[in-house]
Structure 1
Amino acid sequence: MNAARFVLLLSLLASPVAARAALPEAEPGTVGLDAERLARIDQAVERAIKRKEVPGAVVLVGRRGKVAYVKAYGQRTVEPTATAMTRDTIFDMASLTKPVATATSVMRLVEQGKIKLGDSIVTYLPEFDNHDKKAITVEHLLRHRTGLIADNPIADYADGSEKAWERIAALKPNSPPNERFLYSDVNYLVLGRLVERVSGKPLDQFARETIFEPLGMTDSRFAPLVEGTKPNPAIDLERCAPTEKEAGNWVHGVVHDPRARALGGVAGHAGLFSTADDVAIYAQMLLDGGKGPDGKAILAPETVQAMLDPGNTPPRQRRGLGWDIETPFSHPRGRGFGQGSFGHTGFTGTSIWIDPATQTFVIILTSRLQLGSKANTAPIRSEVATLASAAILDRPKDAKPSETHLHPVDCGIDVLVKSKFERLRGKRVGLVTNHTGKTKDGVPTIDVLANAPEVKLVALFSPEHGIRGLVDAEVGDSKDEKTGLPILSLYGKSRKPSKENLAGIDILVYDIQDVGVRFYTYISTLGLVLEAAKENGIPIVVLDRPNPIGGVEVSGPVRDDGFEAFIAHHAIPVRHGMTVGELARLFNTERKIGADLQVIACEGWQRKDLFDWTGLTWTNPSPNMRSLNEALIYPGVGLLEATNLATGRGTDTPFERLGAPWIDAREFSAALNGRGLPGVRFVPNNFTPKERQYAGKECGGVQIFITSRDQFDPLALGIELAVVLRELYPERWEHDGFLKFIADRATYDALLKGENGQAIRTLWDAELAQFRTIREQYLLYK
């Protein structure tokens, strides 16, 4: 321990213990909250304890400067002796350290004029001047947009803290700054170092003196390790919830995070300990524009506003300066907390969500790791936050109207028409299309090209479901009734145009609406047509169309080698976030096809736009894809199509229903709702499909409702469906077909081992990051 820390520790030990501060308490009704609805939190937490998702918890709901609900549940310690949870239990806050201690400390230094958000980190930390890191600013660090990795190897810390810092400073970014969001502990490690360098004080001392003590947060502090390994005696160990077992003993008062521990217990990303009442004081400070309980300003109102401003970060990546804004990446805030709400979570089971519009905050503190790494706090976070939101009796009207999001789009065919068919004049054209290929005014691309001047349309090629999109089986060759042209099926005896098929064709044109999912076969047809074009020396033009489920989100595992199939043509994630034109560019290069390819891009489409923001008319891309809602659900429910489930085919709402004759609808829906998936709810449903394996048989199951598009993740849905089916019906659910669609052995093996959904999804992080880097080269739209 260095001299400064030793002096600090002595001062703490010598100081008289101050009376613990807390916000005043009030009956729920006096602050506009329904007491009966808040009381339902009891049942929600008790269910979570019974499900062994948490051993215990402290829940606190505050509104208008007062605590309206606070209660301790379950056990603080489980072993060796069970100890009841108390309101004043001290928790390892894990990543709540980032906004509460580190980001707030940075903003204090910004107010003092010692740091500028737009400055390069090299300005303050010259040792980071390598690998083009001069372009990384303080703001990039705060918003997780640096391009630095999430965690550097723990082996980097084996030779002491100074050597660890040398290795951190030498890290090479994986992408340019501000290109994308990647939640990173490294970012906040660097920010903690920045506070120490600029203030001349260790982060723990600076945060204590400028944040915690002025606010009266008497139980909030870092716990620097004594002699490198021992708990800090300044922490009341008897009130500490343990986080993990080491050498047969439970650890109290020692930070769980291994990197923070290797740095002596103090780091920018983890290390803070606190209580629910202290966190409530901090939350109220933000709601009060930076003022503490005594009216003294901790932060200026402008500084608080800056911390909560997402800036230009894109949807579902909206980050303030330390805070997750509006759409939490891992914290389902529950329905009802809307635009401008913010919060954060911690790995140990801590969370806070704050809603300025209603002057409400919800704090849930647990120590989940006592039950093992599979313990899951997501359901309790979602359910408690939803109950708290529902209890608000005098919710203000939303003063900020929602954006209409209507961005009229011209598709590739419309742009081709405007160019007067420049690329096709004088050519004999083979057109790969179906009923979705049409102009924004609804004129089929077949008719447009058949009547185009100086263009000779000579052949048509159809994908799965046929030229009219009506067939749910293999399709044979035929003739187009209107033009008399031959229609050569690419979903029959052959799935790739042959040399004979292409005889007499000068150029190929592809115009089909995709739905943005790896196992939707129109993109497999695209890849095979590209190969045929190259093999036969024929140029190909792809007329682009919007990705109907948006071009921002990328999720699900990247296809493993060895799973190549017509439903898994290339190694891309289940939800790839690309248009067919962008995929054509990617296939052509990454598969080393080298076709003479031109993509005629859409005009007016933005990556964040879903189909209903384009002004285009919806046309069912296939017989059972009848709405945008079904397209949004499809990446998740579609994963289960090859198993012994009815997925809504043969009903009026395909993919919005899921079930089987052996499923208890109420049991299944309760289990799924208990998972707390954000943006989606499940209603018990009995239905009788008219086709496939359960045709004419009543199936028990669920109907799926998207409650928030911003929060909904279809891949999280698909994985949780599989996890719940595996748990409830291990002998009835035949899961072999799941591997065929997920096309990822690690995900499948984790499912069979009983891993929870969140743990399974983390398996994808590295490969998704790599795919995003590859994908970036081929994107055509902002």
Structure 2
Amino acid sequence: MKPFLLLIFLVSTLPSRSQTIQTGAERLDAYLPLIKDKRVGLLVNHTSLVGQTHLTDTLLSLGIAIPKVFSPEHGFKGNKPDGEKITDETSSRFELISLYGDSKKPTVEQLNGLQVMIIDMQDVGVRCYTYASTMTWMMEACAEARVPVIVLDRPNPNGSYVDGPVLDETYESIVGLHPIPLVHGLTLGELAQMINGEGWLKDGLTCDLQVIPVMGWTHEMPYSLPVPPSPNLPNDLAVSLYPSLVLFEGTVASVGRGTDYPFQVVGHPQFAGGSFGFTPHPNEGSKYPPLEDQLCVGVSYIGQKPSYSLNIELLMRFYRNTEVDVFFNDYLTKLAGTKKLRKQIEDGKSELEIKSSWENDLTEYHEIRKKYQLYK
């Protein structure tokens, strides 16, 4: 079948979901002219779908040359445990390069020969989710190598609100590179435009950037992810709870890694007053889950409908009612992007007082965000 006829066939057979919401990857007619007859690099993973077909398969079937494919945390197939260094992925169709292995940023040699880079990954709209950092370092490398970047945008399932502390740049890390709130209310495409526009790449670089927007979606629209974005966010409930529960990763508590309900339960063996119990064991999503083989007592959200808001009251309650000498660890500072949150909780501040302390920073951020919003 000729590429043009195949394109018509692919578009006509996209699933019914795309009749109302069409992701950037599904808008083939918008970006194929930009990559025709070029050597294309991809930064993708298992979420990079055109309908039910992976983007690499779609583009290769259309005769697009793809010599190199890069992947973020969890790998190309999205099945690697959290935090695991990835060095063993290979493909017979293209060179497969992990950006969660020996290096987090592509080298000059790895970009050599590429004429354009496509980025397509499903993000969840939380600053500490590492896909945005990997995108940043790819943009930076492409700016240095003068390789244009195309972001195929996808909806943000937590995109209906903005909340949380804004990152203090003293605490930059892979779980937070930019001065944005914990819940930033942007798609990866919008965030890429902000990174470029605000000069947040190294040495004030800007990359040659083009975003292919989502069609038929606004920030206020609920969006159910067609596939889990990572092993420990298995469903819409976990995705909606992630902004609140991820802060527990900076504590002695477990958020259910190593169970069938990651990011849907919270517990600790010494938590007082819990009504739910679970015991973490190693599994495909977590080789070394916190509190492995220990009965954790706590709170369950299993079976509830997703609710989109940032809740720090539960974190405060666990701090008050977990009988340990030290509840928080240093990782909380990186996740929160500030040392203030830990001190505020330890000082007994109320949730209202803590959230009020974010207001000025959030007001300033909203003004910046307006400049880069692609969707209402």
**TM-score normalised per structure 1:** 0.43
Distance 1:564 1:451, change over 3 A: same
Q: What residue in structure 1 maps to residue 173 of structure 2?
A: 565
1:580-609: CA deviation from partner (whole Å, max 9, x where unpaired)? 100100111211331000001111111111
Q: What residue in structure 2 maps to residue 624 of structure 1?
A: 232
Q: What residue in structure 1 maps to residue 8 of structure 2?
A: none
Give the Cα–Cα distance (whole angstroms) in 1 for the partners of residues 353 and 39 of structure 2: 53
1:619-672: CA deviation from partner (whole Å, max 9, x where unpaired)? 1111111001100000000011132111111111111101111113xx14xxxx
From 538, 544, 555, the counterpart of 2:163:
555
Are 1:699 and 2:310 matched, yes or no? no
Does structure 1 conserve the Cα–Cα contact (< 8 Å) formed by 2:70 and 2:96? yes
Q: CA deviation at 1:732?
A: 4.1
Distance 1:746 1:642, change over 3 A: closer
- State the AA in 2 paired with 1:698: L
Q: What residue in structure 2 maps to residue 434 of structure 1?
A: 45
Give the Cα–Cα distance (whole angstroms) in 2 for the partners of residues 517 and 749 of structure 1: 22
Distance 1:407 1:750, change over 3 A: farther
Are 1:722 and 2:315 matched, yes or no? yes
1:293-316: CA deviation from partner (whole Å, max 9, x where unpaired)? xxxxxxxxxxxxxxxxxxxxxxxx
From 75, 84, 87, the counterpart of 1:466:
75
From 715, 723, 734, the counterpart of 2:327:
734
Q: What residue in structure 1 maps to residue 129 of structure 2?
A: 520
From 194, 206, 212, the counterpart of 1:586:
194
Give the Cα–Cα distance (whole angstroms) in 1 for the partners of residues 322 and 219 of structure 2: 39
Q: What residue in structure 1 maps to residue 148 of structure 2?
A: 539
- State the AA in 2 paired with 1:452: L
1:310-359: CA deviation from partner (whole Å, max 9, x where unpaired)? xxxxxxxxxxxxxxxxxxxxxxxxxxxxxxxxxxxxxxxxxxxxxxxxxx
Q: CA deviation at 1:694?
A: 1.5
Q: What residue in structure 1 maps to residue 35 of structure 2?
A: 424
Give the Cα–Cα distance (whole angstroms) in 2 for the partners of residues 767 and 628 of structure 1: 29
Q: What residue in structure 2 maps to residue 386 of structure 1?
A: none
Matches within 5 A, 1:354-753: 408-415=20-27, 417-419=28-30, 421-439=32-50, 441-453=51-63, 455-472=64-81, 473-476=84-87, 478-481=89-92, 483=93, 485-549=94-158, 551-590=159-198, 591=200, 592-612=204-224, 618-664=226-272, 667-668=273-274, 684-691=275-282, 692-704=289-301, 712-713=308-309, 715=310, 717=311, 719-729=312-322, 731-736=324-329, 737-753=331-347
Distance 1:463 1:587, change over 3 A: same
1:401-423: CA deviation from partner (whole Å, max 9, x where unpaired)? xxxx99821111111x1247111
Q: Which has the higher contact order (CA 8 A, sep 6+)?
A: 2
Does structure 2 conserve the Cα–Cα contact (< 8 Å) formed by 1:747 and 1:763? no
Q: CA deviation at 1:746?
A: 2.5
Secondary structure of the corresponding residue to residue 277 of structure 2: strand
Give the Cα–Cα distance (whole angstroms) in 2 for the partners of residues 427 and 726 of structure 1: 55
1:412-464: CA deviation from partner (whole Å, max 9, x where unpaired)? 1111x12471110121001000010011x2110011121224x2111000100
Q: CA deviation at 1:725?
A: 2.2
Q: CA deviation at 1:707?
A: 5.9
Give the Cα–Cα distance (whole angstroms) in 2 for the partners of residues 646 and 633 of structure 1: 14
Larger radius of gyration between Structure 1 and Structure 2: 1
**TM-score normalised per structure 2:** 0.88
Q: CA deviation at 1:690?
A: 0.9
Q: CA deviation at 1:733?
A: 4.7
- State the AA in 1 paired with 2:153: D
Secondary structure of the corresponding residue to residue 487 of structure 1: strand
Q: CA deviation at 1:478?
A: 3.2
1:252-299: CA deviation from partner (whole Å, max 9, x where unpaired)? xxxxxxxxxxxxxxxxxxxxxxxxxxxxxxxxxxxxxxxxxxxxxxxx
Q: CA deviation at 1:709?
A: 5.5
Give the Cα–Cα distance (whole angstroms) in 1 for the partners of residues 18 and 304 of structure 2: 21
Are 1:759 and 2:356 matched, yes or no? no
Secondary structure of the corresponding residue to residue 479 of structure 1: coil
Does structure 2 conserve the Cα–Cα contact (< 8 Å) formed by 1:746 and 1:763? no
Q: What residue in structure 2 maps to residue 338 of structure 1?
A: none
Secondary structure of the corresponding residue to residue 414 of structure 1: coil
Does structure 2 conserve the Cα–Cα contact (< 8 Å) formed by 1:726 and 1:733? no
Secondary structure of the corresponding residue to residue 169 of structure 2: coil
Identity %: 34
Give the Cα–Cα distance (whole angstroms) in 2 for the partners of residues 689 and 467 of structure 1: 26
Give the Cα–Cα distance (whole angstroms) in 1 for the partners of residues 167 and 323 of structure 2: 26
Distance 1:722 1:732, change over 3 A: farther
Does structure 2 conserve the Cα–Cα contact (< 8 Å) formed by 1:662 and 1:732? no
Does structure 1 conserve the Cα–Cα contact (< 8 Å) formed by 2:173 and 2:334? no
Secondary structure of the corresponding residue to residue 343 of structure 2: helix
Give the Cα–Cα distance (whole angstroms) in 1 for the partners of residues 336 and 368 of structure 2: 21
Give the Cα–Cα distance (whole angstroms) in 1 for the partners of residues 262 and 182 of structure 2: 19
- State the AA in 2 paired with 1:702: V
Does structure 2 conserve the Cα–Cα contact (< 8 Å) formed by 1:725 and 1:733? no
Give the Cα–Cα distance (whole angstroms) in 1 for the partners of residues 347 and 173 of structure 2: 26
- State the AA in 2 paired with 1:445: L
Alignment length (residue pairs): 347
Give the Cα–Cα distance (whole angstroms) in 1 for the partners of residues 180 and 78 of structure 2: 25
1:52-91: CA deviation from partner (whole Å, max 9, x where unpaired)? xxxxxxxxxxxxxxxxxxxxxxxxxxxxxxxxxxxxxxxx
Does structure 2 conserve the Cα–Cα contact (< 8 Å) formed by 1:541 and 1:599? yes
Give the Cα–Cα distance (whole angstroms) in 1 for the partners of residues 371 and 96 of structure 2: 35
Unmatched 5+ stretches in structure 1: 1-404, 669-683
Matches within 5 A, 1:334-353: none
Give the Cα–Cα distance (whole angstroms) in 1 for the partners of residues 184 and 358 of structure 2: 13
Distance 1:720 1:514, change over 3 A: same
Give the Cα–Cα distance (whole angstroms) in 1 for the partners of residues 335 and 323 of structure 2: 19
Does structure 1 conserve the Cα–Cα contact (< 8 Å) formed by 2:172 and 2:334? no
- State the AA in 1 paired with 2:345: L
Give the Cα–Cα distance (whole angstroms) in 2 for the partners of residues 770 and 734 of structure 1: 32
Secondary structure of the corresponding residue to residue 301 of structure 2: strand
Give the Cα–Cα distance (whole angstroms) in 2 for the partners of residues 460 and 741 of structure 1: 29
Q: CA deviation at 1:728?
A: 2.0
Give the Cα–Cα distance (whole angstroms) in 1 for the partners of residues 22 and 120 of structure 2: 13
